[in-house]
Chain A
Amino acid sequence: MTIRLAGAGFRHGGIPALGALAMTVARGEQVAVIGPSGAGKTTLLRLLATALRPDSGSVEVLGCDPWRLSPRARQQLRARIGLIQQAPPLPPRQRVVTAVGGGRLGQWSLARSLVNLVYPLDLQGVRQSLERLDMGDRLFDRCDQLSGGQLQRVAIARTLYQHPDLLLADEPVSAMDPVLAGHTLSVLIAQGRAKGATLVASLHAVDLALEYFPRIVGLRDGAMMFDCPAHQVTSDNLDALYANDQLYPAVPHPPHQSPTVDATYGCR
Chain B
Amino acid sequence: MSTVNKRPLLTLVLLLCLAVVSGLSFLYLGMDFGALFSGDAGSQMAAYAGNFLRPDVSPIHLGAIGRGVLETLAMSLIGTLLAALAGLLLALPAAGRNGAALRLAARFLLNALRSIPELVWAALMVLAAGLGPNAGTLALALHTAGVLGRLFAEALENTPSAPAEALRLAGSGRFAAFSYATLPLVWPQLVAYTLYRWENNIRMAAVLGFVGAGGLGQMLYIHLSLFQEAQAATVIAAMLVLVLGVDSLSGWGRQRWVRA
Contacts and interface: CB of A to CB of B under 8 A. Distances in A.
A/B: CB atoms within 8 Å of each other: yes
A113 B163 contact: no
Contact of A102 (B162, B167, B175): B167
Interface string B170-188: 1111011101110011000
B184 A103 contact: no
Interface string B133-177: 000000000000000000000000000101101111111110111
A188 to B, nearest CB: 16
A78 B180 contact: no
A147 B170 CA distance: 24
Given A93-B184, A98-B180, A114-B179, A105 B173 contact: yes
Nearest to A159: B170
Q: Which residue among B162, B180, B181, B185 has the maximum number of chain A CB atoms within 10 Å of its CB?
A: B180
Contacts of B171: 75-81, 105-107, 162
Interface residues of B, number: 20
A89 B173 contact: no
B188 to A, nearest CB: 8
Contacts of B167: 102, 105
Contact of A91 (B163, B169, B176): B163
A108 B185 CA distance: 22
Nearest to A108: B176
Contact of A83 (B162, B166, B173, B176): B166
B167 to A, nearest CB: 5
B173 A91 contact: no
Given A91-B185, A102-B181, A117-B180, A78 B173 contact: no
Contacts of A77: 171
A174 interface: no
Give the interface size class of chain A: 35 or more
B176 A90 contact: no
A94 B183 CA distance: 10
Contacts of A51: 165, 169
Contacts of B168: 75, 78
A78 B169 contact: yes
A77 B175 CA distance: 18
Contacts of A93: 184-185
Nearest to A168: B169
A107 B170 CA distance: 10
Interface string A178-202: 0000000000000000000000000
Contacts of B179: 113-114, 117
A110 B175 contact: yes
B165 A106 contact: no
Contacts of B172: 75, 102, 105-106, 113
Contacts of B181: 89, 91, 102
Contact of A94 (B166, B175, B177, B184): B184
A122 B6 CA distance: 59
A51 B167 CA distance: 11
Contact of B163 (A80, A89, A107, A162): A89
Contacts of A117: 179-180
Closest 9 CB pairs of A and B: A106-B171, A79-B171, A105-B172, A89-B162, A78-B171, A89-B163, A91-B184, A113-B176, A105-B176
8 contacts: A75-B172, A89-B163, A105-B171, A106-B170, A107-B171, A108-B176, A113-B176, A117-B180
